[in-house]
Amino acid sequence: MARKRLQGNRAPTVHTVAKLAGVSIASASRVLNGLGASPETEQRVRAAAAKVGYVPNAVARSLRSRRTDMLALAVEDIGNPVYVAMMRAMETVVRRAGYRLVVHATGADPDGEVELLDGLAKRYVDGLVLVPIRVTDAHLEALSRAAGPVVVVGALPDDVEVDNVRTDSHSGVGLALSHLVESGRRRIALINGPLDTVPGAARQAGYLAARDRLGLPADDALIEIGDFRYEDGRRATERLLDRVRPDAIFCANDLIAVGALHTLLSRGIRVPEEIALVGMDDTDLARMSFPQLSSVSLGSEERGQTAAQLLLDRLVDPDRPPARVTVPPRLVIRASSRAVRP
């Protein structure tokens, strides 16, 4: 297999093809774009293009057409299973429409997200799906001056005029707690993430509301806060169990829930017999745990698909009013919270 790289010579352009075919660049371009041309011209251009291995330059085409056929996705951490699910769903939708996906890991840095929004003015992509975990005033300002279409995944103040996909994790927590009560639990703990994040705040509020609605004991010792990751879940559960003895734990996140499961099992506590466990996000992790984890699905795939579709629609019709889609939560019951006879 010889190494025949076209070292010095530039790649063939439409000029190359046109010259070889003996026609003008306009004719060459027209043939290559399937516009009208005589059979004679058609044939000669195609032959010439094939001969030199012509491939149109995407950058030049983008400059002329003012579109890049690329969309950006910005999430905090491309390793988090929730975002992985979203990204996978988006990639599929976007690819089907002939676009490519550029991914950005913002590392929860609000400045980075604002920079990304302002970066839209560089026009290196046609649009952006932003999944902020915290929303600051700087975000809102950057959103209002964004130079291109943006879809935000996650809750926003009502007066922000941006395409928006959200879920209702508030009532999602309610689903989980109702289910736990129905299956005989009363002392239901919450292990949450930071309260200054959008998801953390929503889950906290949802827990408090459901606790009242269901007439559960209002014991704040049942609430523990960590971060949204596995190790934090483990440690938060340790702290919780050193203090109180719930008969169920709701975790704000599957990562936390898997951490909690670890702590429970390593203390010899049986799940779900002694303590039932419910997570949130219904990621692959939930299926892969043992016992399998009940989890409140917030439709990550669906939110990803919808966000991508909204962005694609926006590109077609820039003037349509901002859309807001809410994906309803759905409880997936598995072994970790099955009802048991005492």
Partner DNA sequence: GCCCAGGGTGTAAACGTTTACAGGGCAGTG
Partner DNA sequence: CACTGCCCTGTAAACGTTTACACCCTGGGC
Residue 48 binds DNA (CB under 7 A): no
Site of interaction with its own copies (CB under 8 A): 1-4, 11, 53, 55-60, 62-63, 68, 70, 77-79, 84-85, 87-88, 91-92, 95, 100-105, 118, 121-124, 140-141, 144-145, 147, 159-161, 230, 255, 258-259, 261-262, 265-266, 284-285, 287-290
Q: How far apart are CB 317 and its own copies at their closest, in Å?
A: 14
| Contact partner, 30, from its own copies, DNA, none, Cβ < 5-8 Å per class | DNA
Q: Which of 10, 53, 215, 318 is in the footprint of DNA by CB under 7 A?
A: 10
Of 15-23, 164-172, 192-200, 245-253: span binding DNA (CB under 7 A): 15-23
Question: Nearer Cβ to its own copies, position 118 or 219?
Answer: 118
| Contact partner, 103, from its own copies, DNA, none, Cβ < 5-8 Å per class | its own copies
Residue 9 binds DNA (CB under 7 A): no
Question: Nearer Cβ to DNA, position 22 or 322?
Answer: 22
| Contact partner, 70, from DNA, its own copies, none, Cβ < 5-8 Å per class | its own copies
**How many whole angstroms separate alpha carbon 279 and alpha carbon 285?**
10
Question: Nearer Cβ to its own copies, position 77 or 168?
Answer: 77
Q: How far apart are CB 121 and its own copies at their closest, in Å?
A: 4
Q: Which of residues 17-46 bind DNA (CB under 7 A)?
A: 22-27, 29-30, 32-33, 36-38, 40-41
